[in-house]
Structure 1
Amino acid sequence: MIRTDRLILRHARPDDLEALHEAFSDPRAMRYWSGPAHHDIAQTARILKTLIAPDPDRQEEYVLECDGRCIGKAGVWHRPEVGYMVVPAFWGRGFAFEALSAILPRAFARWPEQAHLTAELDPRNEASSRLLEKLGFVCTGVEEKNFLYGGVEWTDTAYYRLDRPDQPSGTSL
């Protein structure tokens, strides 16, 4: 568990399902995700299952709790890739930045051999681009029309990288 000024970052529990489904079933939250909004809570339950029983070699994910309520998730979901999701009612308040500011140093400490962390996003998601850049990530490139969203729309992918803070940029361990 990690405490920040406004959040508790903790392991997921079964009772987080409804709150997480609030985000995963919202078309605004899912617009730039890996697929459309969940219509069936069983889809969200599969994600929750991986949060409850993560693979310790590749995951360091947390539920974001604010005032006793689950408002999203953040962390390293598939090492070295970082991901995050916040319930839209809580957007624009800096919760993802606050959570990731606490998680990123912990991830580098957990995996000392990890030279960098990465993130991928649809470049139209300007809020996430700004968030990653504020955290120190650098865009390393954009690939056009390489992701088929929901089986109907080809979208671009922007690739971001955050080098280990104690390592010169662009080097490998």
Structure 2
Amino acid sequence: MGENRDEIMSLRPIKLSDIDDFMAWASDARVAHFCTWDSYTSRDEALNFLTNHAIPHPYYRAICVVGSISVTPGPGGRAELGYVVAFEHWGKGIATEAVRMVASTIFREWPLLRRLEAFVDADNGRSQKVLEKAGFVREGLLRKHAVVKGKSRDRVAFSLVSSIHS
């Protein structure tokens, strides 16, 4: 991993050759804490995820090479944003910049998209700040919105709406 910010801030489709960089952050329990998935414990498990989920996903990008960001299409012109960054890169603005990069292009890339949503664990204040800094609007608390690792969790809803559609 280089320390050049331009290298870190590039977004590109994730590849199998990214497995070592993926394992560097996906195996860290601190990174997985607020995620729906547990930290990866084996390369085989990670290769299975990359092969069967990340690579065929319609919008799953590597934040080169310190994390990932995805946009998952939903019904009615909506999509859900998700992102994760390696622990040693927290607090450096990388997640905020990656979210801004996606937000600045996704509505043009997906012309039928009207609303980009993000749901953040209510206890994850850092991620809430990322979305606010990137221009998302905080919509409110969704009580017991998700079951994460066997526990019911409250989440905060955020959105960014297309200026293309009125």
Smaller-chain TM-score bracket: 0.7 to 0.9
Match of 1:74 in 2: 69
Q: Which moved more, 1:125-134 or 1:13-22?
A: 13-22
Please state how far the C-alpha of 1:5 moved relative to its aligned partner. Answer: 4.1
Q: Deviations over 1:111-152 (max 9, x none)?
A: 11211100111011101000111111112222223322212x
SS of match in other structure, 1:132: helix
Match of 1:161 in 2: 159
Identity %: 26
Distance in 2 separating the partners of 1:89 and 1:52: 25
Q: Deviations over 1:16-69 (max 9, x none)?
A: 112112222111111110032222333322332233233xxxx2221111xxxx
Letter paired with 2:91: G
Letter paired with 1:148: V
User: Where does structure 1 lack aligned partners over 5 or more consecutive residues?
Assistant: 169-173
Q: Deviations over 1:55-108 (max 9, x none)?
A: xxxx2221111xxxx211113134501111111111111111212212222210
Of 33, 47, 50, the residue aligned with 1:48 is 50
Please state how far the C-alpha of 1:8 moved relative to its aligned partner. Answer: 2.0
Q: Residues 44 and 89 of structure 1: is their aligned pair in 2 closer, same or farther, counting only changes over 3 Å?
A: same
CA contact (8 A) 1:137 1:160 kept: yes
Letter paired with 2:108: A
Please state how far the C-alpha of 1:161 moved relative to its aligned partner. Answer: 0.9
Aligned ranges 1:3-152 → 2 under 5 Å:
5-6=6-7, 7-49=9-51, 50-54=53-57, 59-65=58-64, 70-79=65-74, 80-151=79-150
SS of match in other structure, 2:129: helix
Distance in 2 separating the partners of 1:45 and 1:20: 10
- Show structure 1 runs of 4+ deviating over 6 A: none
Distance in 1 separating the partners of 2:46 and 2:141: 29
Please state how far the C-alpha of 1:165 moved relative to its aligned partner. Answer: 3.1
CA contact (8 A) 1:115 1:164 kept: yes
Distance in 2 separating the partners of 1:42 and 1:149: 23
The TM-score with structure 2 as length reference comes to 0.83
The TM-score with structure 1 as length reference comes to 0.80
RMSD (Å) for aligned C-alpha atoms: 2.0
Distance in 2 separating the partners of 1:63 and 1:127: 20
